[in-house]
Amino acid sequence: METPKSNRVGFLLDMDGVIYKGKSAIEGSAAFLEKLRENDIPYLFLTNNSQRTRRDMAMKLQRMGIPAEREQIFTCAMATARFLSEKKPDGTAYVIGENGLAAALHQNDYTVVDDDPDFVVVGEGRTISFENIEKAVRLVSNGAALIATNLDTTCPTDAGIRPGCGAIVAMIESATGKKAFSLGKPSPIMMRMARKTLGLRTDETIMVGDTMYTDVLGAVQMGYRSVLVLSGHTTEEDIKSYAYTPDLVAPCLNAIPDEFFMPAALATV
């Protein structure tokens, strides 16, 4: 019998489609998190939404009855800001996006400017104007590096989809002929930062998500175990069209069997 390398595990949990859908919690997600806490299994919420700050995201969860601390939220805006501050400390950025992105940049000693920035940083949001796009196109063609918080082409809303960060970035890429560098899932940079936040090793990390090309792909690239839940926008039929597969497919978060993440020794405690 194969001996597991480590008894420790921890979870990186996508939010939309895993913990909640629209404005309501997905049944059983609070119970699953409770089980993790009871067994001292660490977890981190991981989102490609750069619109809200981690404090706002924690509040959103709390209001749905999901206990969450701000320290348990890791957003693509945070991954982006940390990456940029390591690459070029005290830099400048022209920002297309909302609060969550500007706050993350400020926290990492970045200055938001309108002219001559080091980077043009794009997140999603609903307050973007054509003027912003025009400005970004000119700055990028004059030499600013183009950074995307994520390349998701759509954002789910209660009323249907709306254009996501990837769709906005595509306009700028098309006009300038320059390719954006993206930090959000499936970027190994965000996936690694999240693992390190929990102090886990690669073989101890499990990623749960409802999207193949971000959550599952990110985990596959990193060598993490992955779970695709069908409580979001992916069906079992969809999985067949991808070259990679998750380690487990479950109807929802709370349907992940204990044996998948609790070695026998732990489960009997």
Respond yes or no: is residue 238 known to be catalytic: no
- Tell me the C-alpha distance between 34 and 221, whole Å: 29
Q: Please list the residues that pair with 208 across neighbouring strands.
A: 13, 227
16 binds Mg ion, rule: CB under 5 A: yes
210 binds Mg ion, rule: CB under 5 A: yes
Q: Please list the residues that pair with 11 across neighbouring strands.
A: 43, 206
Closest approach, Cβ 180 to Mg ion, in A, equals 21
Closest approach, Cβ 223 to Mg ion, in A, equals 21
Nearer to Mg ion by Cβ, of 8 and 185: the residue is 185
Stretch that binds Mg ion, among 103-111, 172-180, 191-199, 208-216 (CB under 5 A): 208-216
Nearer to Mg ion by Cβ, of 108 and 150: the residue is 150
Stretch that binds Mg ion, among 7-15, 30-38, 194-202, 219-227 (CB under 5 A): 7-15
- Tell me the C-alpha distance between 150 and 154, whole Å: 11
Tally Cβ neighbours within 10 Å of residue 151. 23
Residue tagged 């991808």 (tokens): 242
Q: Is 210 annotated as a binding residue?
A: yes
Nearer to Mg ion by Cβ, of 14 and 204: the residue is 14
- Tell me the C-alpha distance between 219 and 202, whole Å: 10
| Closest among 61, 37, 73, 11 to 256, alpha carbons compared | 11
Active site residues: 14, 16
Residues in touch with Mg ion (CB under 5 A): 14, 16-17, 210
